[in-house]
Structure 1
């Protein structure tokens, strides 16, 4: 499915580029508390304290993407927070795909990751809240462009493994354009066209998954998304709807982690959810 055309209007983006920051999202959060308007976009050439979902640290060896944007709950930003991982994911995919020699290798994974060649290459962190300045939402984008950090027990990818890596500022500007385009799609047609576009760019239906949550883990196969964006997992006992959890992709023929099968059972392509 092709990307939507860029809307004639759009967000008044204001891109700031910093040589080094602790966290681009923390800067956006601080500025939001002081009343900064929607459209602030912050890029760090090096980020020293980046973070991912579930409290994990996002390591940045330099030359990669550390980028966050601030939105306000006016107009489309007032949509439920649950829609934004799909809008942000589509924007991220559209910004990265032109730099991959074989874009089919770039896949979205529920709820907030980009996989490249089956390995995690990028992730999204969405934070929202309300203060004296009103409601706000900060979306953080982290991507391995030039190098993947070495993390024991994890297999990570970078764009440089699959083609010439882009400059971080080019990706940041592309994300802003793509966000405007996909916000316009959702504003005109609701979640359904966004859902269809996300599924077209995700790993195929039938992909083996393991979902880890507070109550344990469950194994099944990817069965799409429901109308609210919840993960549908086809299990031995029937279909289950998943609202949250850590997602791991099973290699063909592998057993789930903690069961008999191949070494460790599953590729941890989703570490960092």
Structure 2
């Protein structure tokens, strides 16, 4: 006989100004972001809600890719309807990326490399260990944004043609997903506060300190176009700057590969 699903546990996480995140911890979900979107489209307007799944069966990444979760990894989505919902959607990968980096870096042993990759990935020793997916829409209660974050903690999925990594590859003391989610939400608030106080310039500078180095070879695929160059930094709006033989090119969108060492 099939057992009924347990109700999610609720974990309050303090925020600035006396507020708190309301993190729901579910044993198993198809997609944390799909649950957030369904609620928002139905008109839910509670601010500070985060959904964590201990097992996610239908996760997805950028460009519609399936993101398999073998279990024991981080699958977290945040609903933005109040504080943070007014941040331009194109800036969230950088704010959330910094929060993700700061939440993970304390678990990475010496001798291993953690770095951000434009626009929404986190690499561990050159392999993708985490990604961010931002989705937007309009529901019964108005416009909303959802930040979906997946990170390989205990295992990495097997995806043909992609180089992936996880914390367990470092023989690290692998944390439980709720512990990482707690740290991530704390850092998300810190970086959101810094953005509000100092603007995107402060976010851009911090991202460049944690991202792939200036001069890194890059290959970009955008539609049926493919071009190469070296990383020349970020524009004031977060656009990737690619130095090519014809000068600096602004890359608004596309699949970015760190070439040739780190194909994904």
Q: Residues of 2 paired with 1:56 and 1:213: CA distance?
A: 16
Q: Residues of 1 paired with 2:19 and 2:254: CA distance?
A: 32
Counterpart contact for 2:15–2:21, Cα < 8 Å: no
Which residue pairs with 2:127 in the alignment? 119
Q: Residues of 2 paired with 1:70 and 1:76: CA distance?
A: 9
Q: Residues of 2 paired with 1:152 and 1:220: CA distance?
A: 26
Which residue pairs with 2:148 in the alignment? 140
- What CA RMSD, in Å, does the superposition of the two structures yield over aligned residues? 1.6
- Which of the residues 176, 182, 193 maps onto 1:184? 193
SS of equivalent to 1:206: coil
Q: State the shift of 1:220 in Å.
A: 0.4
Unaligned segments of structure 2, at least 5 residues:
1-13
Which residue pairs with 1:222 in the alignment? 231
The runs of at least 4 aligned residues of structure 1 exceeding 4 Å deviation read: none
- Which of the residues 237, 240, 243 maps onto 1:231? 240
Which residue pairs with 1:61 in the alignment? 70
Which residue pairs with 1:102 in the alignment? 110
1:88 aligns with 2:96: yes
Q: State the shift of 1:104 in Å.
A: 6.3
Q: Residues of 2 paired with 1:27 and 1:207: CA distance?
A: 38
Counterpart contact for 1:210–1:248, Cα < 8 Å: yes
Q: Residues of 2 paired with 1:71 and 1:10: CA distance?
A: 18
1:268 aligns with 2:252: no
**What are the superposed Cα offsets for residues 208-252 of structure 1, whole Å, 9 maximum, x if unpaired?**
00000014111000110010000000011110000000011113x
- Which of the residues 31, 38, 41 maps onto 2:47? 38
Counterpart contact for 2:116–2:210, Cα < 8 Å: yes
Which residue pairs with 1:50 in the alignment? 59
| Between structures 1 and 2, the one with greater strand share | 2
Q: Residues of 1 paired with 2:244 and 2:112: CA distance?
A: 27
- Length-normalised TM-score, structure 1: 0.87
Counterpart contact for 1:114–1:122, Cα < 8 Å: yes
Greater Cα shift, 113-122 or 102-111: 102-111
- Length-normalised TM-score, structure 2: 0.90
